Amino acid sequence: MMKILESLIKLLPAKIVYAHCDIPCGIYDPHTAQLAAKTVLKMVQKINELPEEDKNNFVRIVMVKEEHAELCKKEILILWADYFKEEHLEKFPDLHNLIWQTTKLCSENKRTVDEVKANELIEAVNTIADIFEQTKK
């Protein structure tokens, strides 16, 4: 049975995939959240630059903005729930509030087209990434 399964697996096309699991593997990285936050800002800028008659692109850009705002929130919550520990809260006492405010910014960026809020999201995610890096030392 295993030989049949191995033969079938060899027939499938292979591609690189990136994933994160709920098993405490110890592999965490805020890079995805940072990239998602930057994408939100870029989509806001593109929306603001669109000519009024370009409705199709408007819808597509809004969808990308909202998907990345949600991805950013997911990645931040993974760090919060799975990586950060009590000793991190002791060293960074504002971490809980920072995470909470950042996830709220993700939601706000889904609901609005606001370059100021998109920049605030990037700043908050970068602050979390800096704290993350400090905990690795």
CB atoms within 10 A of CB 22: 8
| Threshold 0.75, pTM exceeds | no
Instruction: Give the pLDDT confidence of 40-50 residue by residue, as tens digits.
Output: 999 999 999 98
Full DSSP string of 60-86: HHHHHHHHHHHHHHHHHHHIIIII--H
Angle CA 89–92–97, to nearest 5:
75
Instruction: Give the pLDDT confidence of 88-125 residue by residue, as tens digits.
Output: 999 999 999 999 999 999 999 999 999 999 999 999 99
CATH assignment of 30-135, among 1.20.120.400, 1.10.3210.10, 3.40.50.300, 1.10.3470.10: 1.20.120.400
